[in-house]
Structure 1
Amino acid sequence: MSEHDGRDPGPGDGADASTDPQGGDNCGCDDACEVGGASASGVPGETEPGDSAGESAGAVRAEFSVPDMDCASCASKVETSVRKLDGVGDIDPRATTGRLVVEYDPDRTTPDDIRGNVEGAGYAVEDGPSTREVSFSVPDMDCASCAGKVEYALRGASGVLSYETRPTTGTAVVTLAADADLDAVVSAIEAAGYEVTGTDADEAPDADANAAADGERESVWRSTRAVKTWVSGGFLAAGIAAEYLFGLELVVASVLGVSFTAAELLYVLGAAVGGQAILRNGYYSAKNRSLDIDFLMSTAILSAVAASLISGPTSLYFEAATLAFLFSVSELLERYSMDRTRDSLRELMDLSPDEATVLRDGVETVVPVEELVVGDVVAVKPGEKIPVDGTVVEGDSAVNQAPITGESVPVDKADGDEVFAGTVNEAGYLEVRVDSAAGDDTLSRIVSMVEDAQANKTEREQFVERFSSYYTPLMVVVAVAVAAIPPIAFGLDWVTWFVYGITMLVLACPCAFVISTPVSVVSGITSAAKNGVLIKGGTHLEAMGSVEAVAVDKTGTLTKGELTVTDVVPLNGNSEADVLRCARGLEARSEHPIGEAIVSHAEGTGVAAREVDDFESVTGKGVRADLDGVPHFAGKPGFFEELGFDLEHVHVTGPGEALSAEVRQLCDRHGCLNLVEDTIPRLQSEGKTVVVVGTEDDLEGVVAVADEVRPDARETVAKLREAGLSVVMLTGDNEGTARAIAEQVGVDDFRAGLLPEDKVAAVEGLLDEYGSVAMVGDGINDAPALATATVGVAMGAAGTDTALETADIALMADDLSKLPYLYELSHRANGVIRQNIWASLAIKAVLAVGVPFGYVSVALAVLAGDAGMTMGVTGNAMRLARIRPDE
């Protein structure tokens, strides 16, 4: 049968178009026409603006090249024309460069609309990229406060259209105008106090810096900052020894009329050395008008020193030195914690080899992977990593695909099989044809998507940022009040309360609180990627952990998606071989999965083909063709009832034909079958699709086809149900087939006879019932339903661009057993995020309450409230990396 014959695609296909009145299977012709979801065409220059830039949440920017717009009058006309469109925000016509930058709401207008209005004003719009995206490596940008300063600097940089900072990976992704000066952007970032160690652009501001960035990362404990911290600690320890062990109270120095004892001088040196980087960062914070931790700590240190100079006999040099040293230690610990998080992503990046052995003119040549082009053939020896996505053209081996798919057992590969970059050739020698250039392979896309996952902030992240924007100013006010009101209003010792104020100022920093969510998200997403699960954003990670039900498409998800012939029932004296011979002939020209399964089975059993003429598809029913000159039919049971056959009384043996009603009354039913009430329902109850074969006069037999249930389907469903989730199967199959599969795998409920659009309605119904639903499918045919669900999960996404791009979460291997792992990881991630948020808030609150009672010192505030909590939330988040699929 052809792909338009309209017969039931059965367990191996998608949705059905019609249902046979006698309980026959449904037709799948509509499934062939299903659109898996529209994707917008790429528009040069279209980007999402940085959150901090002040645009509306849904606004995007697009840049257009308008070379004829070369004067103020031209710019005015273009702006007036574009302004007529609905949903347009800021318009920036740049007559000096011939470029037009437009901010617009994509839900209300499109780049094509803007282009049309510009051309309607009489100005041609040139095609071609007018923007470029550059990723800058800024390793010292490791907290939200740092990111804020970098964003402020980028906001004023020339040629910057939008930006996105990622403190968890230490990168800033910037969309630039095509003619923007890269060095100017680097200078802007460095003016904010952060070194740029490299970019991913073709040109680099500093080749040596790039080389350093690509090389071995400097240990945080051997950095210049660390050395200064240890020296500061040494001065602090020496000062303590001089003051308390040796009692050295002699004045050893006098500067501008201010006398210093030995201990005080050592404290000042400790504050100066340890506070150098803090004061430098505080200067940039003040310059950028950022009320962040660097500004607060700088203020606290300078206030302590100033108070000491003013007060005369009362010295706060010890507090200044302690604050400088401990905060420097805190910064090192925070950097170390962030490096641990970044290492998990860096491990993914390091999976792909830098070089490959390419075969050219029969000669092996080692070249950088970047020099490989599509069509090259590379040699991969045992134990080597495969450098590119490609196809095996010679050799056979077992390949460890765990880095991509998470599969624990190596997969056999031979001629014609697909392989992925970063996987390991375990045994034999392989020659692989390059199918994707470096940077465009599956591993690169995974790494890119994991990095991009930080771009979309979760609801919790947005809440934390909003909360911290109120928390810090409020705590600064409280600190000032604590330092000033008791001495002024009640005459209490101002030095004591001034120290309390400094302590409150330390607690005003929300670092651990702000980083609590993103570090957990990155840890969870990276851990999942290492185990063959690609989660495309923290929002999806959190949502997956809170779903109440899982809707699972049957075909290719609960089942293997590979149809096989399971039963052949000969009728009227025919043998199984006779039935298969006719069925093979009728299906020889079919592209339908059922037809292909029948032909494959016949070939495998050695059944010869018959001569086929006048092949014809009977829409919605089946096919007909002449076999050796005799008309034959194959199709749904209802098709044969329309041809006049009595399917309730069919002879199994003997050469007779289907009986008429009159003859049936004379028959004692010996040797007869009731296909309608017995045979067909029985086969369908076993999850099989029925195809009847016959001529114009005789029924020759029945062929049953089924899609085998995955071996791990029942166990997977059981684990999901044990976790408290309801599991619902969606299928286009008839009720009997659906019920049989549902009972086999143990789902809670099922929906049968669904067309593609019906699956969307089914998911909407489940959303109404459960509130939050995950939909699991192949990511292509099920794209509309996946998009409708709270979370869409695509299976077997490795090597499938559509599934990688459209799904919220992709299971890289065709492995259903990863679903319980995915839910467990997401569920635990939600718990870790909640723990981090409330623990960081609780510690700050307890410390803040203890300050006015003298229970909390500056040292305790820094160690417990800042460094300790930063280490704590990071360590707690890293626990997610220990979750494995087999738990």
Structure 2
Amino acid sequence: MTEHEGRTQDEPVGASADSQSDDCGYGDACDVDVDTAAETPSGDGPTAVNARSRAEFGVPEMDCPSCAGKVESSVRRLDGIGDIDPQVTTGRLVVDYDPDRTNLTDIKSSIEGAGYAVDDEPSVRTVTLTVPDMDCPSCAGKVENALDTVPGVLEYDTRPTTGTAIVTITADTDPNDVVTAVENAGYEVTGTDADELDDADTDTDRTSVWRSTRALKTWVSGAFLAAGIATEWVFGIELVVATLLGVSITLPEMLYLVGAAVGGQEILRNGYYSARNRSLDIDLLMSTAIISAVTASLISPPTSLYFEAATLAFLFSVSELLERYSMDQTRNSLRELMDLSPDEATVRRDGTEQVVPVEAVEIGDIVVVKPGEKIPVDGTVLDGESAVNQAPITGESVPVDKAEGDEVYAGTVNEAGYLEVRVDSAAGDDTLSRIVSMVEDAQANKTEREQFVERFSGYYTPFMVAVALGVATIPPLVFGLDWVTWFVYGITMLVLACPCAFVISTPVSVVSGITSAARNGVLIKGGTHLEAMGAVEAIAIDKTGTLTKGELTVTDVVPLNGNTEDDVLRCARGLEVRSEHPIGEAIVAHADDNELDSRDVAGFESITGKGVRANLDGVPHYAGKPGLFEELDFHLDHVHITDPGDTLSADVQTLCDRQGCLNLVEDTIPRLQAEGKTVVLVGTEDELEGIVAVADEVRADARATVERLQSFGLSVVMLTGDNEGTARAIAEQVGVDDFRAGLLPEDKVTAVEGLLDEYESVAMVGDGINDAPALATATVGVAMGAAGTDTALETADIALMADDISKLPYLYELSHQANHVIRQNIWASLAIKAILAVGVPFGYVSVALAVLAGDAGMTLGVTGNAMRLARIRPDE
């Protein structure tokens, strides 16, 4: 049984972290864990092959129509089931289903519930083909048409921006049949991951595009074209050198004809495959134009269109080379990611060190990494200390210190020390590999603009072909105008009929933006999320672990009744040492840092929502929120406030009775809480010994990040489960526009829904799994600190790999600029085509101009414009 996800299956939205964020003090509204993140509905696929998830089950005992009926009826009872295809002759059941409403386990159980065993052998497989010459939508269309003819092909995903085709086939389909179909469409398959095939050399040296066979033919074609121009226009030679089909050919015409033949060879070849695969694309149009020009010259002398044929062949070949070069620039951005991981690793086995391919490294192996080397695997440091450059994964500009027990990632660089690393992930399953895979898969998630462009181009090309035919025939036939002139105009309109630059304008921008983000430590899971992030109007940010560090620390110790700070900390440590609450852990850690002696602890008791109780050296002590001590029936005659000038207001009394002391303490509490701190009182039933204040430290760059987001015109709202006072203090400190306090996870969902009522689109940023419902509700969910966290990588719309909130302004700026670039590319390519088309009937646009400006120029232009996104960098 094997599942195959639909080609454009939207990723679920959510986030995760290794630990739950804690936004609460004693008795405050606290966040709770949520086991699963909500998922977004599946999107429509770009082809009619399959828009839903599909699974194929082997049911060998289903060998008659009656059996098939029982199985189908049982499965049909499940929610979310689409088409069901029981194949009795092969014993297979193909099921289309909605993964948001049912799953493979339920489907399998339903089959078994009908009395039929399910064969666990895979019945579908996915083959990835490397097709480097498939570098435009027109090429992809021919490959798709070819794949449609192969029995056993269930789905395919052609990706011209990376030159790959991902094909899902039945288990009994020979991958060689798939390769043959693609090659019969005119495209060489240079590699495949199918086990049955010997991979060809996938290093196609794409940097040598200008020295390729196609380029050589182009330069020869250009030389003959130039020689023909020189012979005809410079030297004025009209010597007849040949007769073809009874028509005399002059020397210049012969040079043009040879130039057209040499330069048009690849064009005609591709045009043949286009016609064979019923694809109305640029190759077929150019082939038609060249053949028409030569044919008209031969059958209707003295008409001579050899020059136009040679010009078209040469310039379109140059255009193809430019398009391939432009696409290579896009592909290189992804190759840079793939090249980060080393090919070999030094492994210690049986007491010796040996160098092995990374693929041969196994989980549990010990890998040795010397200074200056790339770390080849995800793992945990067992021995050694070093600074590691994690920029390839997290985008952090400063190396991170690593020591025993710390995580390291494949593709990062060991800057200085010697490290021994235990392998935690197999090759291909490490963080870097998942990032590369997700960046590649992001292309399958087509944006609304991409889908619009594809639909538009489906009407544009046939319409322009009809216009070209009308331009070539109507004026001569109806108005008696010169048919040669209007025939040339018709050829020119054919050149403008292919929307290559228009179609490629959006995907190259999306790929450029996504790969640029990945190199800077931001993983965007698809063009849809890239566009959506650039259009948000408000950003909701979780407080703990996002605006703050998520690590509670002791900030103030206020001793009372003659005690010292050490006395208060020693007492507080004894009370909290057995507590599992984050506040207690912070107090214990602070006391340990001060190397304070421990006290004899007995009778520990947790008072839910209020604090803790224990016997310290035989005396009952309490630590908890102020309300706990108000409820205690203790007797206090005098309390001495130690050093009141430093810790309390100037008008406090150093001596107070029981009620007065409580008032005094309560005057202190609001001041500490106003500073965003949680207050813990420490004492016995008879005596208050001191006050300990604990706070989650605000990130140093939080305020600057918020101000930068606000400078973009965004509204920034803080969401937290903490109390009103603490939330207000943090909100004022970081400068957010608004805040919501005392929120449970379901309350955060309500808060995000409220923002969506106020703004058209909202992004939610969080670091914990308890933020997942709110992340799913928002237009875009952004998870922080996703490196090394599988769940966050798999579920987030966008993941900030580092625990670094300062990447948010970069993310928004990149996404916002990507939307600008996409719009510029779409409208510029359409506008140029329209201007050129209008100019053709007036004689202002030649074949050469149509090729150079309408095809080659715009392709190069939209690609170059898209590459500008790579220059956007996070603020250092």
Confirm or deny a common fold (TM above 0.5). Answer: yes
In structure 1, the residue corresponding to 2:683 is in which secondary structure? strand
Query: 1:163 aligns to what?
Result: 156
Say if 1:466 and 1:744 are closer, same or farther in 2 by CA, change over 3 A. Answer: same
Q: Deviations over 1:303-339 (max 9, x none)?
A: 1122222212101121111111111110110000000
Deviation of 1:858 after TM superposition, in Å, equals 0.5
Query: 2:769 aligns to what?
Result: 780
Cα distance in 2, alignment partners of residues 108 and 65 from structure 1: 22
Is 2:474 the counterpart of 1:466? Answer: no
Aligned residue runs from structure 1 range 368-407, under 5 A? 368-407=357-396
Say if 1:841 and 1:94 are closer, same or farther in 2 by CA, change over 3 A. Answer: same
Say if 1:693 and 1:455 are closer, same or farther in 2 by CA, change over 3 A. Answer: same
Q: Choose which of 80, 84, 87 in structure 2 pairs with 1:91.
A: 84
Cα distance in 1, alignment partners of residues 721 and 555 from structure 2: 20
Query: 2:418 aligns to what?
Result: 429
Cα distance in 1, alignment partners of residues 442 and 502 from structure 2: 20
Q: Deviations over 1:493-512 (max 9, x none)?
A: 11111111111111111000
Deviation of 1:457 after TM superposition, in Å, equals 0.6
Q: Choose which of 134, 137, 144 in structure 1 pairs with 2:130.
A: 137
Query: 2:268 aligns to what?
Result: 279
Gaps of 5+ in 1: 1-10, 41-46, 655-663
Say if 1:12 and 1:193 are closer, same or farther in 2 by CA, change over 3 A. Answer: closer
Gaps of 5+ in 2: 1-18, 644-652
Query: 1:658 aligns to what?
Result: none
Is 2:7 the counterpart of 1:14? Answer: no
Query: 1:37 aligns to what?
Result: 37
Deviation of 1:383 after TM superposition, in Å, equals 1.1
Query: 2:166 aligns to what?
Result: 173
Cα distance in 2, alignment partners of residues 405 and 613 from structure 1: 46
Cα distance in 1, alignment partners of residues 105 and 859 from structure 2: 47
Query: 1:200 aligns to what?
Result: 193
Say if 1:779 and 1:149 are closer, same or farther in 2 by CA, change over 3 A. Answer: farther
Say if 1:215 and 1:850 are closer, same or farther in 2 by CA, change over 3 A. Answer: closer
Q: Choose which of 832, 842, 867 in structure 1 pairs with 2:856.
A: 867
**Are the equivalent residues in 2 in contact too, given 1:49–1:61 (CA < 8 A)?**
no
Query: 2:844 aligns to what?
Result: 855
Cα distance in 2, alignment partners of residues 646 and 686 from structure 1: 31
Q: Deviations over 1:366-416 (max 9, x none)?
A: 111111111111111111111111111122111111111111111111222
AA matched with 1:529: A
Deviation of 1:199 after TM superposition, in Å, equals 1.6
Deviation of 1:142 after TM superposition, in Å, equals 0.8
Deviation of 1:104 after TM superposition, in Å, equals 3.1
Cα distance in 1, alignment partners of residues 519 and 311 from structure 2: 42
682-691 or 232-241: bigger deviation: 232-241
Say if 1:153 and 1:644 are closer, same or farther in 2 by CA, change over 3 A. Answer: farther
**Are the equivalent residues in 2 in contact too, given 1:264–1:317 (CA < 8 A)?**
yes
Deviation of 1:574 after TM superposition, in Å, equals 3.0
In structure 2, the residue corresponding to 1:225 is in which secondary structure? helix
256-265 or 281-290: bigger deviation: 256-265
**Are the equivalent residues in 1 in contact too, given 2:21–2:767 (CA < 8 A)?**
no
Say if 1:572 and 1:668 are closer, same or farther in 2 by CA, change over 3 A. Answer: closer
Query: 1:534 aligns to what?
Result: 523
Deviation of 1:632 after TM superposition, in Å, equals 2.6
704-713 or 85-94: bigger deviation: 85-94
Q: CA RMSD in A?
A: 2.6
**Are the equivalent residues in 2 in contact too, given 1:264–1:318 (CA < 8 A)?**
yes
282-291 or 873-882: bigger deviation: 282-291
**Are the equivalent residues in 2 in contact too, given 1:235–1:269 (CA < 8 A)?**
yes
Q: Choose which of 43, 51, 66 in structure 1 pairs with 2:46.
A: 51
Cα distance in 1, alignment partners of residues 431 and 636 from structure 2: 52
Q: Deviations over 1:20-56 (max 9, x none)?
A: xxxx86143xx3443352689xxxxxx999622344x
Cα distance in 2, alignment partners of residues 763 and 39 from structure 1: 16
AA matched with 1:811: L
- Percent identity between matched residues is 80
TM-score (norm 1): 0.91
Is 2:533 the counterpart of 1:544? Answer: yes
Query: 2:115 aligns to what?
Result: 122
Query: 1:253 aligns to what?
Result: 242
Say if 1:63 and 1:668 are closer, same or farther in 2 by CA, change over 3 A. Answer: closer
In structure 1, the residue corresponding to 2:54 is in which secondary structure? strand
Query: 1:268 aligns to what?
Result: 257
Cα distance in 2, alignment partners of residues 678 and 375 from structure 1: 57
90-99 or 462-471: bigger deviation: 90-99
**Are the equivalent residues in 1 in contact too, given 2:21–2:768 (CA < 8 A)?**
no
**Are the equivalent residues in 1 in contact too, given 2:270–2:283 (CA < 8 A)?**
yes
Deviation of 1:582 after TM superposition, in Å, equals 2.3
Query: 1:742 aligns to what?
Result: 731
Say if 1:278 and 1:48 are closer, same or farther in 2 by CA, change over 3 A. Answer: farther
Q: Choose which of 594, 600, 622 in structure 2 pairs with 1:605.
A: 594
In structure 1, the residue corresponding to 2:786 is in which secondary structure? coil
Aligned length: 847
Q: Deviations over 1:728-760 (max 9, x none)?
A: 111111111111111111111111111111111
Cα distance in 1, alignment partners of residues 483 and 573 from structure 2: 98
Cα distance in 2, alignment partners of residues 137 and 354 from structure 1: 20
641-650 or 688-697: bigger deviation: 641-650
**Are the equivalent residues in 1 in contact too, given 2:832–2:854 (CA < 8 A)?**
yes
Deviation of 1:302 after TM superposition, in Å, equals 1.5
Deviation of 1:421 after TM superposition, in Å, equals 0.9
Say if 1:326 and 1:647 are closer, same or farther in 2 by CA, change over 3 A. Answer: farther
Say if 1:115 and 1:204 are closer, same or farther in 2 by CA, change over 3 A. Answer: closer
AA matched with 1:781: N
Deviation of 1:256 after TM superposition, in Å, equals 3.3
Deviation of 1:877 after TM superposition, in Å, equals 0.6
Q: Deviations over 1:155-182 (max 9, x none)?
A: 2323322121111111111222233311
Cα distance in 2, alignment partners of residues 463 and 744 from structure 1: 45
Cα distance in 2, alignment partners of residues 735 and 630 from structure 1: 35
Say if 1:610 and 1:129 are closer, same or farther in 2 by CA, change over 3 A. Answer: farther
Query: 2:398 aligns to what?
Result: 409
Deviation of 1:564 after TM superposition, in Å, equals 0.6
AA matched with 1:169: T
**Are the equivalent residues in 2 in contact too, given 1:673–1:679 (CA < 8 A)?**
no
Q: Deviations over 1:631-652 (max 9, x none)?
A: 3322222233233469999653
Is 2:576 the counterpart of 1:576? Answer: no
Query: 1:43 aligns to what?
Result: none
Q: Deviations over 1:131-155 (max 9, x none)?
A: 3222211111111111122122222
Is 2:293 the counterpart of 1:304? Answer: yes
Say if 1:153 and 1:77 are closer, same or farther in 2 by CA, change over 3 A. Answer: farther
Aligned residue runs from structure 1 range 474-485, under 5 A? 474-485=463-474
Say if 1:122 and 1:567 are closer, same or farther in 2 by CA, change over 3 A. Answer: same
AA matched with 1:376: D
Deviation of 1:216 after TM superposition, in Å, equals 4.2
Query: 1:447 aligns to what?
Result: 436
Query: 2:751 aligns to what?
Result: 762
Q: Choose which of 495, 507, 515 in structure 1 pairs with 2:504.
A: 515
Cα distance in 1, alignment partners of residues 763 and 559 from structure 2: 44
526-535 or 582-591: bigger deviation: 582-591
In structure 1, the residue corresponding to 2:604 is in which secondary structure? strand
Query: 1:685 aligns to what?
Result: 674
Say if 1:788 and 1:244 are closer, same or farther in 2 by CA, change over 3 A. Answer: same
Deviation of 1:565 after TM superposition, in Å, equals 0.6
Say if 1:775 and 1:696 are closer, same or farther in 2 by CA, change over 3 A. Answer: same
In structure 1, the residue corresponding to 2:689 is in which secondary structure? strand
Q: Choose which of 713, 717, 724 in structure 1 pairs with 2:706.
A: 717
